[in-house]
Structure 1
């Protein structure tokens, strides 16, 4: 009898003592038992990078769908429900279908050690292989070289968005080492779109591409993108495109848009797809303005934003985004994981925040205690205190400044709880 997906997912959490254990051996074993579904996918676009890979993938999907294509998409982590990770021919996987493929993977695995991300990735690949579509978008979970998504021999295209320092306990502690992991998605002869990179990252990517004969399409060399009077100006060797600015908020989305447009053009898509990518893209918890729910009801005069960025590069883009918004006292409600560079995250925000309230992330064993988050904020020169949760933090802010701009930030896991419980 098939159980609910939540029950099966809970069991899968216990199949390996570590949440992250980077190797592909367990993937190959289970995929073979499942009949190698990774060989039966519609043409694959594989997306890696430290920042921007989810937004870039969302734009590529919006563009392909605007051109009439049916698109599978796999992404992680989810925000409110696991089903968000798997999109089949444009629609989120149904509960019945998800439970079915999870059941099959659990049975085929036979209780042998495998991480949660690995076995659920196998389930996604199984569902995608069985559902007709025109393209498959795979977002790397962590790194690239040994990531569970890196099992497709010959994708149609790969994309590497900006590489920065993150997940150092798994990927290395230099830009060059981390870029080496990201560049692990490059395949022999397969073109790769490369966003603007630190010079150390670019050198590593270029060296691996040369060894594999993988043609690179590099920002500022093969393609250029900029915002121009509220529009998006893109040009490459085939010409100039005048497009709407991407619907996602933030100056960094211009660069992500350029990578998405380059990918679409390499896939043979025209201007209609590129314009649709800009107009139709949605990607929650990336500088998302909340417009309804209990938090809005509790603070009718406030402007509430949600952002799940969690590393120093994300904070730098957040800093730039805040500087472009109309002046307004800005208060943060911040929860972070204890695996992150919290000091590096706080530093770029110091000039924008009137005050920060630190909160724990509910249900997360690796949450940083609120008091520690507060101490990091104060160390960056941000006045800070703590609260038990986001709702009580909001109430205290509204009591002080009813018309404040309130930024809920620091973690995708916190953002997911907000969307699930309050929006």
Structure 2
């Protein structure tokens, strides 16, 4: 297979070409939801899927990147795609592509759409890979669009202002297709509203058409239809309450799904995930081991708030990040809640930030105790040697999180 020389090259031409050669499988999807945004896409997708599956419905789901195994990206009729079926779909896509240049994400997205066209399901919930307007997923005809909170990330591809990034995310909107919009900062909301007005897209906007808030240990969702009393989401943090509101709004636009089960049944690995078994957990002894893949400043703020909801324990971070990220911006809000940071490089990632650079950024961000570690296991040993009852949070990158999940079995 001849992959495109650029890992990321935002364009729809190659995708349209291969899908035409495959007989346009993207046109054979069941009713679908297309989700863009900077933070919360995966969690919102997980909640929408859980709400639909609670009614016994079968759901195709597409997400990226994967953590431990590629197969995680493609859920077919509520089951992770099997090895043989995946190989068959990729082989068909490679043959249809005919040796023309194509990116990794494009051909794997085509394989997912081909798989979905072959297996019946009730709904498809598709997560945008990067941006929206020129993303490979933006070839489907969704029944509902979703935009989760927009903030700075991937600026080298999407632009260096919130308005520019929001414009790329708003590129998924369609004339006449309803959209659930999470609460946004003013610059993002202005662009999204203007795009929708130009296209004739009916919107349900957070903090305008719907609200969600916490009250007495529960969540309350309210829109023009009334008030719904709900449990707090299984996923931890104030940001997950917002994601829950966006998911409920999307389900209401679809006209299907159980809002309560959307919150209580959703599972999304590496989003403040408590690791409870495995060799790294055994290595930690009495210490708790947690994992989070957030990697931009908004994720740092959300994570710093979320850890305050856990029972009191001294918090120590193990952090590895990519060189393309705003490391100080991510770490700054965490400096106030953690006692130390052990910096690691991400194994096998050419774009990893060296541990020394992460450590230097942590010191500038306000961490008083910063240590360089050879790897995650070494960092766990060092932390538990002096703080055996610590809460250890491994964070900074989905790629680091994936490596931890593989290492931990």
TM-score, length of structure 2 as denominator length:
0.98
| Corresponding position: 1:234 with 2:221 | yes
Paired residues for 1:177-216 under 5 Å: 177-216=164-203
Q: For the residues of structure 1 that align with 2:339 and 2:231, how far apart are their CA atoms?
A: 34
1:248 alignment partner in structure 2: 235
1:176 alignment partner in structure 2: 163
CA displacement, residues 226-264 of structure 1 (integer Å, 9 cap, x when unaligned): 111121111111111111211111111000000101111
Q: For the residues of structure 2 that align with 1:353 and 1:275, how far apart are their CA atoms?
A: 33
What displacement does 1:400 show?
A: 1.1
3-state SS of paired residue (1:149): coil
Structure 1 counterpart of 2:51, from 63, 67, 70: 63
Gaps of 5+ in 1: 1-11
Q: For the residues of structure 1 that align with 2:408 and 2:372, how far apart are their CA atoms?
A: 20
Q: For the residues of structure 2 that align with 1:398 and 1:129, how far apart are their CA atoms?
A: 50
Structure 1 counterpart of 2:95, from 96, 101, 107: 107
Q: For the residues of structure 2 that align with 1:231 and 1:149, how far apart are their CA atoms?
A: 35
1:26 alignment partner in structure 2: 14
3-state SS of paired residue (2:33): strand
Q: For the residues of structure 2 that align with 1:218 and 1:363, how far apart are their CA atoms?
A: 41
Q: For the residues of structure 2 that align with 1:323 and 1:297, how far apart are their CA atoms?
A: 25
Query: Is the CA contact (8 Å cut-off) linking 2:280 and 2:407 kept in structure 1?
Result: no
1:36 alignment partner in structure 2: 24
Q: Number of residues paired by the alignment? A: 408
2:106 alignment partner in structure 1: 118
What displacement does 1:107 show?
A: 1.1
1:388 alignment partner in structure 2: 374
Structure 1 counterpart of 2:244, from 243, 248, 257: 257
Q: For the residues of structure 2 that align with 1:103 and 1:28, how far apart are their CA atoms?
A: 18
CA displacement, residues 327-354 of structure 1 (integer Å, 9 cap, x when unaligned): 3211110000001001111111111111
1:4 alignment partner in structure 2: none
What displacement does 1:326 show?
A: 2.9
| Corresponding position: 1:328 with 2:313 | yes
Q: For the residues of structure 2 that align with 1:113 and 1:375, how far apart are their CA atoms?
A: 40
Query: Is the CA contact (8 Å cut-off) linking 2:47 and 2:262 kept in structure 1?
Result: yes
Structure 1 counterpart of 2:262, from 259, 277, 280: 277
Paired residues for 1:276-315 under 5 Å: 276-315=261-300
3-state SS of paired residue (1:159): strand
Using the TM superposition, name which of 319-328 and 296-305 deviates more: 319-328
1:406 alignment partner in structure 2: 392
1:8 alignment partner in structure 2: none
Query: Is the CA contact (8 Å cut-off) linking 2:270 and 2:293 kept in structure 1?
Result: yes
Q: For the residues of structure 2 that align with 1:117 and 1:144, how far apart are their CA atoms?
A: 14
Query: Is the CA contact (8 Å cut-off) linking 2:318 and 2:343 kept in structure 1?
Result: yes
2:146 alignment partner in structure 1: 159
Q: For the residues of structure 2 that align with 1:210 and 1:87, how far apart are their CA atoms?
A: 34
Using the TM superposition, name which of 45-54 and 223-232 deviates more: 223-232
Q: For the residues of structure 1 that align with 2:148 and 2:56, how far apart are their CA atoms?
A: 25
TM-score, length of structure 1 as denominator length:
0.95
CA RMSD of aligned residues (A): 0.9
What displacement does 1:323 show?
A: 2.4
What displacement does 1:269 show?
A: 2.4
What displacement does 1:324 show?
A: 2.6
